């Protein structure tokens, strides 16, 4: 029998998509013990979108602080040994978690990721290389202690790049990561998603990630 795990989903104005996302979680060959949704100050009808779903949901609300803050808030509520994370508009393939457990339980990897494939009405505008995709919140499964060892996910300027910075800290701690080459996550591309948006204010987040990485290499910390 595979170990129990929880799923943490940060959500901001995700009512239009979160139902389909939860359905994909509940279609897993190995179901989660709990799905923790952190409402990051939404102004839409997120609660109503969740009301009819048959799933072990727990909804936590906070003022709008960013996806990193919302993910970290959800992690504080996890009671299982393992935890997976997922953006509120993305979808899992049914055997994603089961395949990832086969990697984590065999060791030595402490984090498991999978490749992603894009979908959605605006998918033609996406420029990401799917063969290099997958180092993302929506594909991650890990032990909860690994998250705590790495530390909280800190939001960058423009709410972009927080997972890149967090994984860079994990690599600096020599935490082993494994990438499954199968595309077991579908990343929804739409005009309201950070995957679609590109503007200088948001891209400052990636600039901050680069600066922090340079400081770590020079021994100056975060």
pLDDT tens for residues 166-203? 999 999 999 999 999 999 999 998 665 544 444 445 55
pLDDT given for residue 125 in this prediction: 46
Contact 56, 78 (CB under 8 A): no
Which pLDDT band holds residue 76 (cuts at 50, 70, 90)?
A: very high
Please check whether residue 214 lies inside any domain of the structure. Answer: no
From 55-64, 87-96, 131-140, the region with the lowest mean pLDDT: 131-140
Please check whether residue 36 lies inside any domain of the structure. Answer: yes
Please check whether residue 141 lies inside any domain of the structure. Answer: yes
CATH at residue 103: 3.90.550.10
Please check whether residue 204 lies inside any domain of the structure. Answer: no
Please check whether residue 206 lies inside any domain of the structure. Answer: no
Average pLDDT, integer, range 148-156 = 96
**Percent of the residues in the chain that have a pLDDT greater than 70, as a whole number:** 79
**Residues 95-141: pLDDT tens digits?**
999 999 999 999 999 999 999 999 986 555 444 566 678 999 999 99
Residue that wins the pLDDT comparison between 64 and 156? 64
Of 179, 60, 193, 54, nearest to 119 by C-alpha is 193
From 36-45, 75-84, 129-138, the region with the lowest mean pLDDT: 129-138
Angstrom distance (rounded) from CA 61 to CA 101: 30
- The domain containing residue 95 runs over which residues? 5-155+163-190
Please check whether residue 198 lies inside any domain of the structure. Answer: no
What is the total count of domains within the chain?
Answer: 1
- Helices 162-172, 200-217: crossing angle, 10 deg rounding: 10
CA torsion through residues 20, 22, 23, 25, sign:
positive
Angstrom distance (rounded) from CA 93 to CA 184: 5
HSE, side-chain direction, 13 A CA sphere, residue 66? 17
Average pLDDT, integer, range 39-49 = 96
pLDDT given for residue 206 in this prediction: 44
Pairing of strands 57-62, 34-40: parallel
When the pLDDT of each residue in the chain is averaged and rounded to a whole number, the result is: 88
């Amino acid at each position: 029998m595979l170990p129990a795990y929880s799923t943490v989903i940060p959500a901001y104005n995700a009512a239009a998509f979160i139902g389909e996302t939860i359905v994909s979680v509940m279609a897993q060959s190995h179901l989660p013990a709990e799905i923790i949704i952190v409402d990051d100050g939404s102004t839409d009808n997120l609660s109503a979108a969740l009301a009819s779903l048959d799933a072990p949901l727990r909804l936590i609300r906070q003022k709008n602080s960013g996806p990193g803050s919302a993910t970290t808030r959800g992690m504080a509520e996890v009671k299982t040994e393992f935890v997976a994370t997922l953006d509120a508009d993305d979808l899992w393939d049914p055997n994603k978690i089961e395949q990832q457990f086969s990697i984590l339980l065999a060791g030595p990897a402490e984090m498991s990721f999978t490749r992603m494939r894009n979908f959605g009405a605006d998918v033609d505008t996406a420029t990401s290389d799917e063969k290099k995709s997958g180092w993302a919140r929506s594909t991650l499964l890990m032990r909860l202690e690994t998250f705590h060892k790495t530390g909280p996910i800190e939001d960058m300027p423009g709410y972009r790049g927080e997972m890149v910075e967090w994984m860079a800290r994990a690599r600096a701690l020599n935490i082993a990561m494994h990438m499954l080459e199968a595309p077991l996550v579908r990343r929804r591309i739409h005009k309201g998603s950070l995957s679609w948006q590109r503007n200088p204010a948001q891209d400052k987040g990636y600039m901050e990630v680069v600066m922090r990485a340079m400081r770590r290499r020079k021994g100056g910390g975060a």
